[in-house]
Chain A
Amino acid sequence: MNILSLFVLIPLLTIAGIVMVKDIRHVKVVSGIGTGIQLIMSAILTFLYIQARQSGDTSEMLFVKDLVWFRSLNIHFAVGVDGVSVAMIALTSIVVFSGVFASWEMDYLTREFFISLILLATGVFGFFISLDLFTMFLFYELAVIPMYLLIGIWGSGPKEYSAMKLTLMLMGASALLLVGILGIYFNSAPEGGNLSFNIIEISRTTIPMKAQYIFFPLTFIGFGVLGALFPFHTWSPDGHSSAPTAVSMLHAGVLMKLGGYGAFRVAIFLMPEAARELSWIFIILTTISVVYGAFGAIVQKDLKYINAYSSVSHCGLVLFAILMMNHTAMNGAVIQMISHGLMTALFFALIGMIYGRTHTRMINEMGGLMKVIPFLSVCYVIAGLASLGLPGLSGFVAEMTIFVGAFQHPDTFQRVATIIAVSSIVITAVYILRVIAILLLGPSEKNSYELFSDARWYERLSTVTLIVFIAFIGLLPFLLTSMTGASLQPFMNKILGMNIF
């Protein structure tokens, strides 16, 4: 049994387990165990991957498995991982694990909730292990659909509106994506021969320039919508604010990373020539995302809106770095994806927990929480510090790698864009500290706060898991960068080797 297939299989088994369990209270336990196994599996995968690399296995993808699925169109179920996907898989399993514990108090349609949640995770895992564009697309859709139900049923506020908006925008994106993918498919063999959906095979050929000019923007925007590319980001604030805690966590933490990962694995990797030619348009858009998201966050009053805008800014940085098309910046993009995934999941988990106590998310209706719920407040401060890029936590490593990498770009245009993007660190500090000051510090507002209990065991488990990894990346970044950095070499070879016309 291929270890990667297990990543799709275990969630499916977990779902089967949830369906079969009689007692509704055991649903959570089953989900916890299932996602726990997955966390262990991803640890094993990481370990095996590093071991394989150290023993000198230099093939592009490891643990490859290829099953023909639909012969006449040459669709395969092809899986395989490199350092980047391993890191993303690890991120996903951490966030899902933590998300299950963050939604421990879910009591409305519990069974269905956890089924949808884990189905969503299945889609994400499948996406990261796929090497076949078609399978990848399939899993992408699998991840988007449960999102609609999760927000529409278990959400809060204008949930139907948000769910509809989110799903429709993502569906619109996947329409572009489908066209892009088919375009790649039909141009995958310019010199004749079999058409292919396999990423590795396509990457060995050069897609004709004319086709690249059409299909690069389509795929990039298609994935960019998911990665909150300006001006297609507006699903994010509404979606996040309406979604239940675990869904926000998973969505901002992992699903938005599908965008970055896809843009990088499909759009740039397969069509680097067009990427180089057209990158300036998208660099402008992503630079706008970075600064604009940060400014947008300053005046928000709803905690989730603040984080949604902050996600726009941080995910903008991911796409920004990918477009720089050099080793360091891309490596930074990968770290930023992981760092932001952990950090934002932590944020949303904490917001959910605070909301569970105060029943409001408006910062001006709260205050002085540090005194009444110190554990959660300290976690919130840590998340905030990670977000504003404090050394020793993951955000710093990611941002600095991106900035240094992007600044190595030989063109002045890119460097100026970098300087503009760098300025976001100040704006980030402003909105993070503003929230901390209003929400956590100061005199405690109401007497009813005295009744609050600090974090319970499952809440502690959920937050501590995330913090441990945030600090781990922040303190020992070389472990992560050495794993992802080496995997970027094929990308660099392709980019450097491309014929300049």
Chain B
Amino acid sequence: MNAGIPLSYFLILAAVMFFTGIYGFLTRRNLITILMSVELILNSVNINFLALNRYLFPHKLEGFFFSLFIITVAAAEAAVAIALIINIYRRFTTINVEDVNIMKY
């Protein structure tokens, strides 16, 4: 099975996803998009965990567990974040981060 896809493919995919996420996180002003970018980052990390676990330490399971853990946390985080976003929308009728600045200074 090792003859299938080389490890570097996984890593490249993860890196591309990670930086796409970073780019989205830094440039987007829409909270939903930002949340989506964060999810992308998290998932790229998951891919890294899984791939490295599988290819480097095939007899151990820490990587799998870790990615499961991240998925759980990400789900909870998404729920909280969306709840916040909805509340922000209700209050300011916008989800643009630059408009939500009454706590600034």
A and B touch in the complex (CB under 8 A): no
